[in-house]
Amino acid sequence: MIVLHRFPLSHYSEKGRALLEFKKLPFRIEEHQLGLPQLGIYRMSGQRKVPVIEDDGRSVADSTAIALYLEERYPEPRLLPADAAERKDVLELEAHLDRHMGSYAPVVWFDWLVRERPEEVPRLLELEVWGLGSGLLGAAAVRRLMRLGGARRIVKKSEERTRKLLAELCARLEKAPYLCGDAPTLADLAAVGLAYHLEIPKTRQLGIPDWEGMGVPGFADAPEYARFFEWRRDFYAKHLA
């Protein structure tokens, strides 16, 4: 059985989980935390990031590398088109999503969580960061840091880039049922997984189960992005557990 190593609230880990679910492969999840426990990930894969999968004695790190590995070893259902031009479009969009959705959407969510639901921050830190105990001291420090001018500039940039990307995805979905045509591809799995923080999916194996369905106001409930989020909810219902 494949083992998926993840941080409980990692959007890249959710992309990795979505890949395994879409391929209908049996797997189990092993949870990790930031800090000292990352040494175990390093010993296994030679780096400290997640997701990492273990499959038949082999370790594969990075969600894109995992996707390519699964496509080669478990080719059905396909994630990449056979046509070279179509495959190039899928891989370019997936890389674009990794760079932009992967970088900016979590910042948008974290800023909202710190400002509007500060009581949840200790739970987040306790789950994700090794050695924080109740997470109360860490949460207080985070709230102060997020008020600094540099942090506010990063948040503003992240909001702008996320809105632009959501508009691009909505435009694609107006033309076809999936982001790159008539069938699901790796680009779709990247989009649904990396938007994890904008609206926590209704699915199993959540790090904090009562956060299911929690969305960032002004994004997940915005009329201008309704096409994407409705499509994403439907994608989870049809293709992912």
Q: How far apart are CA 195 and CA 97, in angstroms?
A: 9
**Token output for 215:** 């969305």
Q: How far apart are CA 118 and CA 144, in angstroms?
A: 12
pLDDT at site 141: 65
Q: Does domain 84-239 have CATH number 1.10.3470?
A: no
Reported as a single tens digit per residue, the pLDDT across 211-235 is 999 999 999 999 999 999 999 999 9
Concatenating the DSSP letter of every residue in 85-111 gives: HHHHHHHHHHHHHHHHHHHHHHHHHHH
Query: What element of type H or E holds 152?
Result: helix 149-175
Can you give the pTM of this predicted structure?
0.92
Nearest to 135 by CA among 150, 120, 151, 117: 120
CATH number for the domain running over 2-73: 3.40.30.10
pLDDT at site 137: 54
Given a cut of 90, whether residue 98 has pLDDT beyond it is yes
The DSSP call for residue 211 is G
Query: In which residue ranges of the chain is CATH 1.20.1050 found?
Result: 84-239
Would you say 1 and 26 are in contact if contact means Cβ atoms under 8 Å apart? yes
**Token output for 104:** 């900016």
Query: In which residue ranges of the chain is CATH 3.40.30.10 found?
Result: 2-73
Helices 186-194 & 11-22 angle (0-180, nearest 10):
140
Given a cut of 60, whether residue 187 has pLDDT beyond it is yes
Reported as a single tens digit per residue, the pLDDT across 145-165 is 677 678 889 999 999 999 999
Reported as a single tens digit per residue, the pLDDT across 229-240 is 999 999 999 999
pLDDT at site 164: 98
